Amino acid sequence: MAKRIITVDDAPIIRLMIKDVLIECGKYDVVAECSNGREAVEKYKELRPDLVTMDIIMPEMDGIKALEEILKFDPSAKVVMVTAIDQRESLMKAIRLGATDYIVKPFEADRVMSAVQKAFGESPETAP
């Protein structure tokens, strides 16, 4: 059964790029896309996905606050942060709070796969 993933980013093109990488692999289903942290928390509670990819800078609720809320709801949640290169301080805070891994924009498909596989404890050799 495919792992269920929610992608969260205020830029639709970033959500689409991540979704395409994950679907192409054949082992993952993107079950929801959210444009801000508030939506992400609501969708997480509703869908209980296996993983969330979470942008840090977003309107309404940023990724750090959404990460905190999701981990408060489900301490075992797997969240991979997506960040711009200049957001190092926020990224370090996310890692300290419990983010599983991170992806730096602009990203390559293999980095997305590496972060997701790491979150699931899969070895890179299992990638198609």
Percent residues over pLDDT 70 in the chain = 96
**Which has more pLDDT, 107 or 87?**
107
DSSP letters for 63-116: HHHHHHHHHHH-TT--EEEEEETT-HHHHHHHHHHT--EEEEES--HHHHHHHH
| pLDDT score at 5 | 98
Domains of the chain (ranges, CATH numbers): 3-123 (3.40.50.2300)
| pLDDT score at 31 | 98
